[in-house]
Amino acid sequence: MRTVDLGSQGLKVSAQGLGCMGMSQSYGVADDTVSLATIDRAFELGVTFFDTSDIYGAGGIYGFGANERLLGYALRGRRDEAVIATKCGIKGIVVNGMKFELGASPEYVKQACEDSLTRLGTDRIDLYYLHRVDPDTPIEDTVGAMAELVTEGKVRYLGLSEVTVDQLERAHAVHPISALQSEYSLWTRGIEAEILPALRRLGIGLVPFSPLGRGFLTGTVTTAEFSADDMRNSNPRFTAEAVDANQAIVAVVREIAAARGVLPGQVALAWVHSRGADVVPIPGTKRPTYLEQNAAAADVALTAEDLARLGTLAAQATGSRY
């Protein structure tokens, strides 16, 4: 896996990262042994950009901070080989894993960072995101506190998640932002009109989460039947009607995959990679086999015709993303 610049402040990461959330919540019962094996395999493949958050685990049986603890355990003895991204700003999950209690006062941010450092077993966080903007705290105040963490050496680079252009510009004026994390995939392209041009104007990298459409774009989701603790039960794109309608999207992805001799999920990820060198997707998985498939997508070459066909699919998506 090649290394790329994420943003224009000097942060270097593997061209594809590993989203770790599903190891602790949202997609059925987790298995720490298998998750740890997945992280081991990521190192072997050169995937060394790991994405977590203090809230990951609160939506499952493991509890707040569980995913950071798991990642910290996995990185013992090889911390310097990894780039750790974690987040603050969501204090709790209120209903069905889809409504958040937000908080990002300067005092809260600083304590959240200390707690994350402890759970991760490290003395610094490579990329510290504001997970969601706190409506009760000006973003300038939140980012100002995060900037102090950089000055103190506890954080190396700053990021944001799911913000508007105005919020992005205001934050960047306080301290350079290296990365924005937002949902982006073949069937979710809402950031292209305004956010993506702003990122490129400001020299900020994009880190797409859910680049596989929460698994749908792998072609493996054919019904709306999920385990009781799966977040897709409350997602509009995964109702029975939406799953049936959205099979037309997967049919095109499957056809292109068959022509290229690869898997549908690899085509979907290759499309994200094709968006630019400043785009670093973080597909999530808790299984080594799926990690291997995802990593291989970085080397899948799509033709101009493929990209043109894939580029029409977002308009066909049934159901809002939340």
Distance (Å, whole) CA 67 – CA 56: 5
Give the active site residues: 56
For the stretch 7-22, pLDDT in tens is 999 999 999 999 999 8
Nearest alpha carbon to residue 207 among 9, 5, 6, 59: 6
Beta bridge partners of 180: 160, 206
Task: pLDDT tens for the chain, 322 residues: list them.
Answer: 999 999 999 999 999 999 999 898 777 677 899 999 999 999 999 999 999 999 998 866 778 999 999 999 999 999 999 999 999 999 987 655 557 889 999 999 999 999 999 999 999 999 999 999 999 999 999 999 999 999 999 999 999 999 999 999 999 999 999 999 999 999 999 999 999 999 999 999 999 999 999 989 999 888 877 877 777 887 888 888 989 999 999 999 999 999 999 999 999 999 999 999 999 999 999 999 999 999 999 999 999 999 999 999 999 988 888 7
Domain chopping of the chain, boundaries:
3-212+270-300
- Around Cβ 315, how many Cβ atoms within 10 Å? 9
For the stretch 278-310, pLDDT in tens is 999 999 999 999 999 999 999 999 999 999 999
Nearest alpha carbon to residue 71 among 286, 296, 283, 288: 286
What values do phi and psi take at 57, rounded to 5? 120, -30
- Name which CATH class applies to 3-212+270-300: alpha beta
- Around Cβ 34, how many Cβ atoms within 10 Å? 12
- Tokens matching residue 320: 């809002």
Q: Residue ranges of the alpha helices (H) in the chain?
A: 32-45, 66-74, 106-120, 139-151, 165-174, 195-202, 240-245, 247-260, 264-273, 288-296, 304-310
